[in-house]
Structure 1
Amino acid sequence: MFRSSSSLYAHIPCPVLPRCRLPHCLFSHGLQQQVQLPDELSPSKQQMKHSTVANGSVNSGKESDPKRLSKIQPHISKKSSVEFSETVKRVLPQPTTAVKRARQEVSPSKSSKSPTVVTPSSTAPGDGAKDAPVIYILPVKPHPPALHSQRLQLAIALAKALRDKGLSSTPNNAASAKEHEIASKTTSLTYVNTMKHHIISLGKRVKSPEKKANEAKDIPSERILEHLPRLVHTEQQLGENKYMTALPSEKDIDEAIAGAASGYETCDRCTRYFKVGADGQSECLHHWGKPYRVKGSEKKFSCCGEMEGMTAGCRTSPNHVFRITHYPRLAAMIPFRVAISGGKFPAAVALDCEMGYTTLGTEMIRLTILEFPSNNVLYDTLVKPIGDVIDLNTQYSGVTSVDEPGIPSFDAAMTKVLNDYIGADTILIGHGLENDLAVMRLFHLKVIDTSILFPLDNPELVSRGYKRSLKSLASSLLQRDIQGSSRLPAVVRSTETVGVVSSDSTTPNSVVEPGASGLKQEGHDSIEDAKAAADLVAMRVRFMLTLEDQRQAQATSVASTGANGK
């Protein structure tokens, strides 16, 4: 700022003395000792003396003239001083955003009057420490990933989630520490999403085992089993969802055999037409993920993110594989069986199968059966398929080998199942059981399928055959994460060891050695999937029984009120 050549304001004292630090101020700095400023702007006499001496070099060099001061003073009023103050505010440079952010991130003073900033080491939940009255935003070096206001807003939401779920006895302290940890490890591009995902994950925390046990005790298992037949799907529902509702006739089987005489099949991965078992078979290039559509964009594959139709695939397999869904063809390869009546069979079981590709299409390579609603493991075993193995589909099945000694054959496994665990009146519970029953070659109509029991909210998608996945249902309704990328340990735990299980024990007896069980750190866990389906059905039954109890209580209350009124 340079002094105006006309010196329009040189005769007016600076209204912000003695705080003005402008090297070339428009106002006078040498008249404050003689001029009496308004009370709002006048400094103390001692400050004015020091200011006069200090600012002597800024004056025009002329000595003060009392007559001149007497002419100037009447023109100085409170209104003009305020106007000049506003002018100076507009002239003074404003602090930049970077300066503001730096000031915001400065930690509170360590004086005795200021509150103590909570450090991450003192924010562990349940340590008996007293929770802070407010949430402190700790500084991040070299610079924070977001503004102070945004960090504070997310930290408050985090503290609320911790408080509502009862996950911390000191939610403010824990939120400050966790927010500081995330802010230190993220950038401005990832900070907000990371904080939001963490807050959402807290809302999906599973209830404690004690609460689950108390809920299970509210409604006994006997009542659940009594109500369960009401959820069994009708024959029409099963037919609409591609279940086999009648055994294939001999004529249908003969026609299916004649149609498959050529030996050519369509690859289940790349959709290429190929001959089964042909020498010199070319490799299979395909996308192992499913295509999905984002609003306003083309379909993309979940495996690699490529747009549909851009490339032939992102993964190469040594062989083509195929799947058969035509029931007469399935019956021609392996005959279907029917459960027998009578005997002591469980009232309901949950089951899940893992499948692999063979020269006969898809075959069962692992079978798990759980008792309902206790979820005790009744039977869990690897199964040696009838056809020659082409691909065990380890990415999804988790099975790496079915050649170890002690693994039962398909016939042996199904004979034991139909003799001990599944009778004609046993209700089967699972997700997408039409596929499981097809590879088991089992004809059964008493089924509760969670993909039918919990349909999509969009009727149009339902009419086109779309269904909710078991992973989605378990996440939204059970707050449980299943079918992850590493569901099974390298060495199978005792409760998950593949083998035959006695009905009076929940721990399987190993058929093969745990180290050679054929399971890896990938694929789905059939025990986990069967439990999820069973818990979804049990949740629905408990909900319906609770509604019935409430209605009966209301009816009883109304009846008693009417009787008292009479």
Structure 2
Amino acid sequence: MIRLGRIMFRSSSSLYAHIPCPVLPRCRLPHCLFSHGVQQQIQLPDEVSLTKQQIANHATVASNNTVNTGKESDPKRLSTAQAVAGKQNSLAFKETVKRGLPAADKSTVPLHPVKRVRQEASPSKPTKSAIVPPSSPVPEDRVKDASVVYILPVKPHPPAMHSQRLQLATALAKALRDQGLSSTPNNAASAKEHEIASRTTSITYVSTMKHHIISLGRKGKSSEKAHETKDIPNERILEYLPRLVHTERQLGENKYMTALPSQKDIDEAIAAAASGYETCDRCTRYFRVGADGQSECLHHWGKPYRVKGSDKKFSCCGEIEGMTAGCRTSPNHVFRITHYPRLAAMIPFRTAVSGDKFPAAVALDCEMGYTTLGTELIRLTILEFPSSKVLYDTLVKPIGDVIDLNTQYSGVASVDEPGIPSFDAAMTRVFDNYIGADTILIGHGLENDLAVMRLFHQKVIDTSILFPLDSPELVSRGYKRSLKSLASSLLQRDIQVSSRVPAIRSTVVAAVGVVSSGSTAPSSVIEPEVRDLKQEGHDSIEDAKAAADLVALRARFMLALEDQRRAQATSTGVGGE
């Protein structure tokens, strides 16, 4: 209603034309909104009511005639159908009302006007998928193998791209299928790949997967003889062991000392080292040994490696070789001496003596630290072979002044505690009880262990030589498989992953304690004292046991192979007769 002075204009919609004016007979408005005549109720004819019913039926038919694609719950399709149906209903109703109203009085409208309300389209009965959301597929038979290899997510981030993980997992499934090692190779490969991806990094993931696949191939080849190898007694292994000892030529090619240095060589080495300058074993910087020449050492503690098609990167930080000077800073420079005459000039080499009291074979592992004499022995572990019983495990106090104990790898944080034997005392104990001239020494990279022990010994079985790399080119360039890799692929055992070293047994020569019953040690040696270092680093007992088990595995395999050939030859001879 718009009021201008005393003039009121009639609304075009005539909403109030059927209501009597409340101010009659005093109303003088020329265009009053209300009725001034006799109020009549206008009933819609039956045609109008019938048309309304037709309109409702038309809306229902229109909604039911929509194409049923199984997506009735789609809000976009519902809104479109509602709009079309509502527009058709509105036009049809307007047209019907226009035709049904009396022509004499077009200004009048029904007593109860129709309120335009948005009509909701009634879709057809929804399908089951529209009511119940689809659940994750669950195999009917859990034992049934998956049709393809699937990759499981790794949190917080995977060690490799999805395509690379899928390629390696597929190769793993193929190895399991070809060797007949699993009835569900796809499921087994997916689970194993996820387990390896969860415990490795981007640096070690690919190599760990490849080594595991290679180990499956070797395991499949020897699976037929597995039950036979378990039955081979230790006595036969010890009898076969001398056949695995390396030749002098093999030792020389792998940087072992094949002859004691002469006095002339020792004198020349002493003269060459008179300047006191050494090359840092970490940053390769030339420095002077001593407090006045020590300075901070910036270096990469990891080793450079090369991924096919890319530059060399360091395993510690992933940086490209040559881009930065290092990622870690140490307070001092350190050096390593590998020249045997120089080693002999500092500490003379010794040879073991013959005797029947020594074990036939032992596995040993040494941990080294940096001192003013280069690298020295700070921990020594000797195990009986093939039982892996601990014979001797002790910390050793070095001769030179300690620069860095290399705790990250050695696991030794201090050698200053009372009761730790000196180098001479420890080696005397070893040569008197555990290592004789005929004792076979077993280990990994034993050329370094023998050097720090100052032991000249040629009856050696080195697992890095016994299990070389598959590539002859890499072998010729001096590359070797790590003990961690060999243990993972051949023994299915993870080593060098613990952040804590178990208890160390340190022999104490002191007037405390009681000699253990049944011990082969002299009466002057006291029961080993147990010390828990609880430091990060390698466990020398674990490493020595892994090397011993690798050698025992090779011996059992070769003995089982010989037994099989002997059985085949016997059966062939009987058949020929």
TM-score normalised to structure 2 length: 0.63
Please say if residues 368 and 410 of structure 2, whose CA atoms lie closer than 8 Å, have aligned partners that are also in contact: yes
Quick one: structure 1 residues 558 and 310, their matched pair in 2 at CA, closer, same or farther if it must change by over 3 Å?
same
- Find the counterpart in structure 1 of residue 38 from structure 2: none
Find out whether 1:227 has 2:231 as its counterpart. no
- Find the counterpart in structure 2 of residue 472 from structure 1: 485
Q: In 1, distance between residues paired with 2:416 and 2:87?
A: 102
- Find the counterpart in structure 2 of residue 385 from structure 1: 398
Within a 5 Å distance, the mapping from 1:232-271 to structure 2 comes to 232-271=245-284
Q: In 2, distance between residues paired with 1:300 and 1:282?
A: 26
- How far does the alpha carbon of each residue in 1:248-303 deviate from its partner, in whole angstroms, 9 at most, with x for none? 11111111111111111000000011111142622111110001111221111111
- Find the counterpart in structure 2 of residue 106 from structure 1: 134
Q: In 1, distance between residues paired with 2:356 and 2:489?
A: 39
Of 455, 459, 468, 2:468 maps to 455
Find out whether 1:439 has 2:486 as its counterpart. no
Find out whether 1:483 has 2:530 as its counterpart. no
Find out whether 1:561 has 2:575 as its counterpart. yes
* Deviation of 1:20 (Å): 2.1
Q: In 2, distance between residues paired with 1:454 and 1:296?
A: 27
Q: In 2, distance between residues paired with 1:287 and 1:457?
A: 28
Find out whether 1:530 has 2:544 as its counterpart. yes
Of 310, 313, 322, 2:326 maps to 313
Q: In 1, distance between residues paired with 2:517 and 2:228?
A: 25
Q: In 1, distance between residues paired with 2:517 and 2:297?
A: 43
- How far does the alpha carbon of each residue in 1:517-558 deviate from its partner, in whole angstroms, 9 at most, with x for none? 4x3341110001001111111010011001100110011101
Find out whether 1:547 has 2:548 as its counterpart. no
**Any idea what SS the aligned residue of 2:292 has?**
coil
- Give unmatched runs, 5+ long, in structure 1: 1-13, 23-53, 62-100, 109-114, 120-129
How many residues are matched? 416
Residue type at the aligned position of 2:340: Y
Please say if residues 506 and 530 of structure 2, whose CA atoms lie closer than 8 Å, have aligned partners that are also in contact: no
Of 274, 295, 320, 2:308 maps to 295
**Any idea what SS the aligned residue of 2:329 has?**
strand
Q: In 2, distance between residues paired with 1:134 and 1:397?
A: 45
Please say if residues 321 and 361 of structure 1, whose CA atoms lie closer than 8 Å, have aligned partners that are also in contact: yes
Within a 5 Å distance, the mapping from 1:142-291 to structure 2 comes to 217-279=230-292, 281-291=294-304
**Any idea what SS the aligned residue of 2:295 has?**
coil
Quick one: structure 1 residues 545 and 265, their matched pair in 2 at CA, closer, same or farther if it must change by over 3 Å?
same
Q: In 1, distance between residues paired with 2:386 and 2:346?
A: 35
* Deviation of 1:214 (Å): 7.2
Q: In 1, distance between residues paired with 2:330 and 2:87?
A: 90
- How far does the alpha carbon of each residue in 1:283-324 deviate from its partner, in whole angstroms, 9 at most, with x for none? 111110001111221111111111111111111111100000
Residue type at the aligned position of 2:243: R
Q: In 1, distance between residues paired with 2:239 and 2:386?
A: 12
Within a 5 Å distance, the mapping from 1:416-431 to structure 2 comes to 416-431=429-444
**Any idea what SS the aligned residue of 2:430 has?**
helix
Q: In 2, distance between residues paired with 1:213 and 1:510?
A: 40
Residue type at the aligned position of 2:250: Q
Please say if residues 297 and 330 of structure 2, whose CA atoms lie closer than 8 Å, have aligned partners that are also in contact: yes
Within a 5 Å distance, the mapping from 1:16-165 to structure 2 comes to 18-20=65-67, 106-107=134-135
**Any idea what SS the aligned residue of 1:375 has?**
coil
Please say if residues 245 and 460 of structure 2, whose CA atoms lie closer than 8 Å, have aligned partners that are also in contact: yes
Please say if residues 380 and 499 of structure 1, whose CA atoms lie closer than 8 Å, have aligned partners that are also in contact: yes
- Find the counterpart in structure 1 of residue 375 from structure 2: 362
Quick one: structure 1 residues 232 and 103, their matched pair in 2 at CA, closer, same or farther if it must change by over 3 Å?
farther
Please say if residues 516 and 527 of structure 2, whose CA atoms lie closer than 8 Å, have aligned partners that are also in contact: no
* Deviation of 1:342 (Å): 1.6
Residue type at the aligned position of 1:20: V
Give me the CA root mean square deviation: 4.7
Please say if residues 347 and 454 of structure 2, whose CA atoms lie closer than 8 Å, have aligned partners that are also in contact: yes
